[in-house]
């Protein structure tokens, strides 16, 4: 199975809603509520895109992205959070190659799904 997107967020309702919206666009979607679960799924299925929350029950999404990058994993990432929108974090995310950041409090779920679809890497 080719996985298009791994949605990593501790909000189960958000994950379900995004899955439904993304599957309408023909994307294969997995989701995880913790970084531990996300890490296992990402390594097993190698999704084309990661949609990662900043604060999860078992850690920080930025730190997880940093670990993946340090291991040479360059998967496209969209970062979404309500807490990491300021100065220092924007620079860190940029250095990690994260081109898209979403403020979850201000962005409707439909717009998040639209950005995911638009950001999907071309499959070869």
pLDDT reported for residue 47: 96
pLDDT reported for residue 124: 44
Q: Go through the domains of the chain in sequence order and give each one's CATH number.
A: 5-85+99-119 (3.40.50.2300)
pLDDT reported for residue 77: 97
> Are the CB atoms for 61 and 54 separated by under 8 Å?
yes
**Running along the chain, 124 residues long, what does each successive block of 10 average in pLDDT?**
87 97 96 98 96 94 96 95 70 90 92 95 64
Residue 106 buriedness (CB in 10 A; 0-12 / 13-18 / 19+):
exposed
pLDDT reported for residue 1: 52
Whole-number Å distance between alpha carbons of 76 and 118: 12
pLDDT reported for residue 104: 87
pLDDT reported for residue 123: 58
């Amino acid at each position: 199975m080719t996985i298009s997107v791994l949605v990593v967020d501790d909000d189960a309702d958000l994950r379900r809603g995004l899955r439904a919206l993304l599957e309408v666009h023909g994307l294969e979607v997995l989701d995880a509520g913790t970084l531990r679960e996300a890490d296992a799924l990402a390594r097993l299925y190698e999704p084309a895109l990661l949609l990662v929350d900043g604060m999860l029950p078992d850690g920080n999404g930025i730190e997880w992205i940093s670990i993946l990058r340090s291991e040479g994993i360059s998967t496209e990432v969209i970062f979404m959070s309500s807490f990491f929108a300021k100065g220092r974090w924007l620079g860190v995310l940029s250095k990690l190659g994260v081109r898209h950041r979403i403020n979850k409090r201000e962005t409707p779920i439909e717009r998040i799904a639209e950005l995911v679809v638009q950001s999907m890497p071309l499959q070869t």
